[in-house]
Structure 1
Amino acid sequence: MKKLFSIFFIALFAFLSAQDQDSKETANRFFYELTFKPKKDSAKLEKVLTVLDIAKDRSVYRDYTVIGQDSIIKVQVEAMQKSGVFKDLSKTIRMPKFSEKIVKHYPDMKVQYVERIASGFTPMGIAYNETIKFDWKISNEKEKIGPYNAQKATADFGGRKWTAWFSTDLPFQDGPYKFSGLPGLIVKIEDEGKNYSWTLQGNKKVQNWEELSYSEKISNMSLKVTDMPREKFEKTFSDFKKDPFATARPMMTQEIMSKTIPGMDGTIGDMMKKQEKMYKDFFNANDNPIELTYSSTDKKKK
């Protein structure tokens, strides 16, 4: 039962990201509100809080949902460990809107794009690397964005036309998602069709910053990320989205599928079906990617 407990606990957090470092340092955390259009054929917009953590030798961009719930998850997990009774955490925590993590390595700004998939029941990281040279056209136009004096710049990226506002008040040549390369931090950026728009909402210093969240640590995720060419990454991740439990299903006998775990509603088979639906609902919620094309193969993103 303990093994099955860990299996489903790991599976629950398979969307979360991980990295091969766990060092404590100080980071500057910038909070961006992302307004986006998840469905390309709909005008409906959604919002999510994302963060850009800028440390000494790298920055890390991701959905803030998981980080923001760390303390809640810690309380729930410690209660389960104390009682020895499994609890379905999907009932009490929110899943992120976006599962990717983007690491920019300083000073060359090499980008590593990381996603989580499952190998059997064990989460594993897959990633591709790229060095992006944004061809920014800096304008003389200036504007106040929140408390910051900002200047306008435009560039084409991923099949979309982008307008950015950067501020030299914040001396970081970085920004949300993959964006970087301007003489100050990007405080606002959106594409021409307003499918994706990031606006800086605030920032703070994070002492003893660690790249791994609490949930990543206790779910025993492998810290190793497998780098691969982007085309292979796209195919691997696409296959996972179509059938998240493809590698796990052969391991599950009928006897195992019919078992129950104290504190869980239904059988292990029921839990697998529920989690499979959770995965598919997550991936099907967005058919309007940030990047419509990618330069490495000049093919449409699938």
Structure 2
Amino acid sequence: MKTIRYILLFMALAVHASAQKDVLDRASMKCMYRATELKDTLDVAFYEDLLILQIGPQVSKCFSYYTFQNDSLRQTPEGNHQASELFNRALADFHKHRDRNRFLNSFPRNRTVTIVYKNHPAGAITVTDGLREDQVTYRDTLNAQQWTMTDSTREVLGYTCQQATADFRGRRWTAWFATDIPISDGPWKLGGLPGMILEAYDKGHQYTFTAVGLERVAEEPIVFTPSGEKNGYRTVDRRAFLKAKMFDLTHGGALGASGLKSTDYEPVYMDLIERDYR
């Protein structure tokens, strides 16, 4: 729990420092999710992330803490130098231990760059994402999942949760939501249940989200993260963007970005979290 508190404090300080413009809402609650993604058919590329869900009266924002941390670190020459040193050290170690998971989780780096703003604008979702140097945005449907609730229950983070299932864009999702937290929200694009989603996973557990921390906050700004590009985000069609992203991944884009050679690792990439781009 000390680690969770340190992360929340770091994020609150950094958000406060840059929160005076593009404030969409002010959060009263914040949930942290351990997110995992099984990347390939060899079961050796298991990506882990830490998602932050800021929840305000009107708007929520879900984003990667590690990406946020890395971007904050690289805003100064000293931080950029430190991050580069850590990467070079991790790459040198990889050629000794050959453990790709250990390599990918041993230095500051961007994990998911996807940011989901629910109910922004009202009744919709705004998503920002990226592919290589291209930073994009698109509009999406709020609470698009058609949930079926069951009688099954389990405990997550100390809360009794009820089970719900839904078919959503090519995956069968199971969610566990807590009616004791009467907030119709959850990680990523998931939501629309009569309680907070504290755990969710697809059939096969290629993608999982599990709450690891929940706290009330006082008027924490929910900020729209600006694009690092001069011309801002480029508006795209969601399915066209996902199709381009999958093409890049299956043609070595992710491999090259990691600093590994094709002789180091030859996986068959499984699929994106949304499969309806086909």
Q: Structure 2 length as normaliser, TM-score?
A: 0.67
Distance change (3 Å), C-alpha of 1:116 and 1:106: closer
SS in 2 for 1:293: coil
Q: Report the CA distance between 1:46 and its aligned residue.
A: 3.7
Could you tell me how far apart the structure 1 residues matched to 2:167 and 2:24 are?
36
Query: Is the 1:166–1:186 Cα contact (8 Å) retained in structure 2?
Result: yes
Per the TM alignment, residue 66 of structure 1 is displaced from its structure 2 partner at its CA by 2.5
Task: Work out whether residues 138 and 154 of structure 1, in 8 Å CA contact, stay in contact via their aligned partners in 2.
Answer: yes
Which residue pairs with 1:291 in the alignment?
Answer: 273
Q: Deviations over 1:221-259 (max 9, x none)?
A: 447333222243235546776698xxxxxxxxxxxxxxx
Q: Is the 8 A contact 1:160 1:192 kept in 2?
A: yes
Q: Distance in 2 between matches of 1:43 and 1:237?
A: 21
Alpha-carbon separation, structure 2, partners of 1:286 and 1:33: 24
Name the SS of the counterpart of 1:154 in structure 2.
strand
1:38 pairs with 2:39: yes
Residue of structure 1 in register with 2:22 after alignment: 22
Give unmatched runs, 5+ long, in structure 2. 1-20, 87-106, 261-265
User: 1:7-42 CA deviation, whole Å, 9 max, x = no partner?
Assistant: xxxxxxxxxxxxxx6228532221001122111342
Is the contact between residue 176 and residue 200 of structure 2 (CA under 8 Å) also seen in structure 1? yes
The answer as to whether partners of 2:156 and 2:198 remain within 8 angstroms in 1 is yes
For 1:144 and 1:239, the matched residues in 2 are separated by: 39
C-alpha contact 2:53 2:61 (8 A) present in aligned 1:
yes
Displacement of 1:129 in angstroms is 1.9
1:162 to 173, 188, 199: 173
Q: Residue by residue, what CA displacement relative to the aligned partner does 1:184-241 show, whole Å, maximum 9, x if unpaired?
A: 110011112111111111123264425256xx68xx5447333222243235546776
Q: CA deviation at 1:180?
A: 0.8
1:53 counterpart = 2:54: yes
What is the aligned counterpart of 1:278 among 245, 257, 260?
257
* CA-atom RMSD in angstroms: 3.5
- Whether 1:116 and 2:130 are equivalent positions in the alignment is yes
Secondary structure of 1:35 counterpart: strand
Moved more, 168-177 or 50-59: 50-59
How far apart are the structure 2 equivalents of 1:128 and 1:147?
A: 36
- CA distance in structure 1 between the aligned counterparts of 2:181 and 2:151, rounded to whole angstroms: 18
1:129 maps to 139
User: Which residue, out of 79, 84, 87, partners 1:90?
Assistant: 84
Identical amino acids, percent of aligned pairs: 22
Compare 165-174 and 232-241 and name the one that shifted more: 232-241
Unaligned runs of 5+ residues in structure 1 are: 1-20, 81-85, 245-274
Question: Which of residues 201, 209, 218 is equivalent to 2:221?
Answer: 209
Q: Is the 8 A contact 2:145 2:168 kept in 1?
A: yes
